[in-house]
Amino acid sequence: MKNIKILDVLKKINIKVYITSFLVIFILLFTFLFTSSKYFKEEVVLTINENESCLSIAQKLKDKDLINNKYLFLLYSFITFSYDDLKPGEFKFIGGVNTKSILRTIKEYNGIKVVIKEGYTIYQVQAELAEKQVLFPTDSITKYRIKDFQDKFEFLQDLPKNNNLEGFLFPETYYFLKNTNSYDIAYRMLLEFETKLYNQYANKESFYSDLILASILEKEIPNNYEKQLAADVLRKRIKKDMPLQVDCTLCYIKQVMANKYVDCYPIYKTDKEIDSVYNTYINKDLPGGPISNPSVESYVAALKPLANTYYYFISDPQTRKTIFSRTLEGHIQNIKTFLR
């Protein structure tokens, strides 16, 4: 009798193990099938008509290659009670998309508006995405490195693989779903960069150094004409083995050290002594990578500097006008006049 009872207990345990194992496998499979993304470099437009059936929508999604299997899409829409809530209209998909995001887009809305301004650093982009609740609270776009996307974008292939994505998060107005995966967000911004800057303007041979210079111009100078003058000044200083000595690189160091956006002013003497590849006071040549995400105008200014006889410049904090000088003496006088 005891043996029979023991066997009954073991059978019950085995049944529980089988059920638990099945549920774990099902959940893992379910998660993989419906949250793994496909990536599109060109916009895919889906039109849904009034009173169109879920089956018809699934077929259109399959025809557009947005999903791999229309029956799995139908299964997910039934499991999530979404099949009756798919609204008519024109929907546009680009970058990383999956079954879950497609359904939410059609069912709920086209996304949360996120404006990435010219000159934002990656840390400012992160803060904006977090504030709008586009990212999960524990997710971050700052964790990615160039190597994470080198197999998807040719323009990244020969760049320092351990640098972050600074410089490539193209300034634009985006629409994302709430709690979008950070990888998909980064992919979308890289795609915008490729389409609107790299393919249109880049000098392939000097692309990365031009981008680094453009990121400095973006942070230092608001006027496009003055950016071109400053681009020539900075290029001349590099050729003459002079340090660039631009404060915006020190501001960036503070953000890197804090791993978040921080206000960098005032600049102290000790800031100019920080050991960093971004410190243009102790290092000559360009910093080790971009220090912001520049506009097309700043990139073009870096590509097409206007020749001049200046070697120094400062920004008037009152007018934001750039004050240029030819000599160190003139530069010191400008500092006394405008900055003290």
Q: What percent of the chain has pLDDT over 90?
A: 55
Q: What burial class does residue 126 get, using C-beta atoms within 10 Å of its C-beta: 0-12 exposed, 13-18 middle, 19+ buried?
A: buried
Measured distance between the N- and C-terminal CA atoms of the chain, rounded to whole angstroms: 97
Q: Is residue 219 domain-shared with residue 278, that is, in the same domain?
A: yes
For residue 67, name the pLDDT band (cuts at 50, 70, 90).
Answer: confident
The answer as to whether 13 is a domain residue is no
**Residue written as token pair 């700043």:** 298
pTM: 0.78
Confidence of residue 135 (pLDDT cuts 50, 70, 90): very high
Residues 220 and 274 in one domain: yes
- Same domain for 161 and 93: no
What pLDDT does 178 receive? Answer: 79
- Assess whether 180 and 228 both reside in one domain: no
Q: Each residue of 45-56: pLDDT tens digit?
A: 888 877 788 889
* Within-domain flag for 319: yes
Examine residue 296 and state whether it is found in any structural domain, yes or no: yes
Amino acid code (one letter) for 80: T
Q: How far apart are CA 133 and CA 49, in angstroms?
A: 31
Question: How far, in Å, CA of 336 to CA of 340, rounded?
Answer: 5
Asked whether residue 21 is domain-assigned, the answer is no
More confident residue, 155 or 320: 155
Q: Which of 151, 154, 165, 238 is nearest to 204 (CA)?
A: 154
Q: Which residues contact 54 (CB under 8 A, 6 or more apart)?
A: 74, 77, 83, 86
Least confident of 2-16, 97-111, 324-338: 2-16
Alpha helices in the chain (DSSP H): 2-35, 54-63, 70-79, 99-107, 122-131, 182-193, 199-201, 207-220, 224-239, 247-258, 296-303, 328-338
Both 88 and 147 in a single domain? no
Residue 73 has pLDDT above 90, yes or no: no
Phi, psi of 171, rounded to the nearest 5 degrees:
-65, 120
Give the residue with greater pLDDT, 188 vs 105: 188
- pLDDT at position 302 over 80: yes
The pLDDT of residue 28 is 47
| pLDDT tens per residue across span 207-233 | 999 999 999 999 999 999 999 999 999
Please indicate, yes or no, whether residues 225 and 270 belong to a single structural domain of this protein. yes
pLDDT tens digits, residue range 31-42? 555 567 888 888
Asked if the model's pLDDT at residue 258 lies above 70, the reply is yes
Contacts of 252 (CB under 8 A, 6+ apart): 121, 219, 278, 287, 291, 292
pLDDT band at 98, cuts 50/70/90? confident
The pLDDT of 192-198, averaged and rounded, is 95
Instruction: Give the Cβ contact number of residue 178 at 10 Å.
Output: 14
What the block records as the tokens of 130 is 């977090």
337 Cβ neighbours under 8 A, 6+ residues apart: none
Distance CA 225, CA 189 (A): 27
Domain count, the chain: 4
C-alpha separations of 123 from 65, 172, 177, 184, 323 in Å: 34, 16, 20, 17, 29
Reported as a pLDDT band with limits 50, 70 and 90, residue 328 is very high
User: Over 70: is that where the pLDDT of 117 sits?
Assistant: yes
CA-based radius of gyration for the chain? 27
Q: Are residues 270 and 293 in the same domain?
A: yes
Structure tokens at 337: 């006049």
Residue 25 has pLDDT above 80, yes or no: no
Instruction: Please give the pLDDT value at position 162.
Output: 96
We report the CATH number of the domain holding residue 75 as: 3.30.1490.480
Is the per-residue pLDDT at 181 higher than 50? yes
User: Within this chain, do residues 173 and 231 fall inside the same structural domain, yes or no?
Assistant: no
Specify the residue for token string 């600049």: 267
Q: Are both 196 and 215 inside the same structural domain?
A: no
Could you tell me if residue 18 is inside a domain? no
**Average pLDDT score over the chain:** 87
198 or 27: which leads in pLDDT: 198
Is residue 98 located within the same domain as residue 139? no
**What's the pLDDT at 22?**
53
| Residues of the domain holding 319 | 309-340
* Per-residue model confidence as pLDDT tens digits over 87-96: 777 788 888 8
**CA 285 centroid distance within chain:** 26
Domain contains 73: yes
